[in-house]
Amino acid sequence: MLSEYRQEISELKQKNAHFAKIFEKHNELDQKAKDADEGRLHLSDAELEQIKKEKLLLKDEALKMILEYKKEQES
């Protein structure tokens, strides 16, 4: 997720517990979605759709935090 911000992600995970939790939850949901897509986890279409929506919301929140952090570091 957001590999172009690798440094900022690493720093935020250490400095911000909320960010670390969001990042971890996103990764868990990403793995569930991959497992479902590859047949290792059986989910209904509705369950998979819900996972993907939640994952996107977490990614958006994480990106917002990354961009705010990056802006603070540049000023």
- pTM score of the predicted model: 0.88
In whole angstroms, what is the distance from residue 49 CA to residue 55 CA? 10
Q: How far apart are the first and last CA of the chain?
A: 25
* pLDDT per residue as tens digits for the range 13-70: 999 999 999 999 999 999 999 999 999 999 999 999 999 999 999 999 999 999 999 9
Q: Are 66 and 12 in contact (CB under 8 A)?
A: yes
pLDDT value of position 31: 97
pLDDT value of position 2: 82
